[in-house]
Structure 1
């Protein structure tokens, strides 16, 4: 299974589920992730970013190896937000590595 498999399953949440908070709300790493992603996509409401992060975490709910879940979640959320906005994030937090070109 690759990182990109299952991305189509992560969708922008409906208004009914948009108020649902990330299950790991008390986790500072999750709060930092939401803040970073909200700053990278200022056109997207923070509640939408929180809901997409929650949805991505939910898709990894049954993952046995938990160490890489935050990294996989952030990559998935960046792809979803990029597709949602059809725009690139602002600043150096755009998910590329040094020397990597945008596809």
Structure 2
């Protein structure tokens, strides 16, 4: 299993970010073919202090080929275009292989 991890730094307007993420972006992302699960977590801090991150989203796929196909699909391209439009300055994307599941 692999996952696409999106890390969002602190947005200027949290309320506007949360509204767009919840009402527009997440529904677009959930339409990607092959998506198995989505986890979204609000970052509340780091050991010993604060964190530069505000939100983390993890989108799970069966394998790297499924993830790549999802990103290249019309649904994936629509989600990517929306992401760059509302959070391009504050997001970083990472691909991770799940090596152990609980």
Structure 1 or 2, whichever has the larger Rg, is 2
Give TM-score, length-normalised by structure 1. 0.34
Higher-helix-fraction structure? 1
Higher-strand-fraction structure? 2
Give TM-score, length-normalised by structure 2. 0.34
